[in-house]
């Protein structure tokens, strides 16, 4: 549900804040604002099947606030190692890379 308010000149203002009720549907714009992403990113995620779960009724796309929060929680990491595992499937181990001094020592 998009919250609208009227200004004194009659222009409508659309709220970018998602509703507080966890089951209420958010627009693409509200969902993108909540996650700090662009609407185009959400659209690309839907095509790839990698973004938050959504509801589609006809041509209208809605995101439940609870799904946005769950998506955000599932992508929360506590360290760079967690982020590397999420991104690459394994932790990066920079200690396996030869140092410049090691490469010249054998010459």
| pLDDT tens column, 27-84 | 999 999 999 999 999 999 999 999 999 999 999 999 999 999 999 999 888 887 766 7
Structural domain contains residue 91: no
Structural domain contains residue 59: yes
Give bridge partners of residue 63 from the DSSP assignment. Answer: 26
Domain count within the chain? 1
Structural domain contains residue 83: no
Residue 65: which domain range? 4-77
What is the model's pTM? Answer: 0.60
Q: What are the C-alpha distances in Å from 19 to residues 11, 14, 35, 50, 76? A: 21, 12, 14, 23, 22
91 or 79, greater pLDDT:
79
Name the nearest CA neighbour of 37 among 50, 24, 20.
50
Structural domain contains residue 13: yes
CATH number of the structural domain spanning residue 41: 1.10.1660
Q: Please report the pLDDT score of residue 78 as a whole number.
A: 83
**Angle formed by the axes of helices 65-74 and 28-35, nearest 10°:** 30
């Amino acid at each position: 549900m998009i919250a609208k308010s009227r200004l004194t000149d009659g222009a409508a203002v659309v709220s970018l804040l998602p509703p507080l009720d966890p089951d209420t549907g958010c627009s693409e714009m509200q969902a993108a604002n909540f996650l700090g992403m662009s609407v185009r990113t959400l659209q690309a995620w839907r095509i790839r099947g990698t973004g938050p779960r959504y509801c589609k009724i006809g041509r209208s796309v809605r995101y439940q606030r609870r799904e946005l929060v769950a998506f955000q929680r599932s992508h929360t990491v506590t360290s760079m190692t967690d982020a590397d595992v999420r991104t690459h499937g394994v932790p990066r181990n920079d200690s396996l890379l030869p140092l410049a001094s090691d490469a010249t020592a054998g010459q």
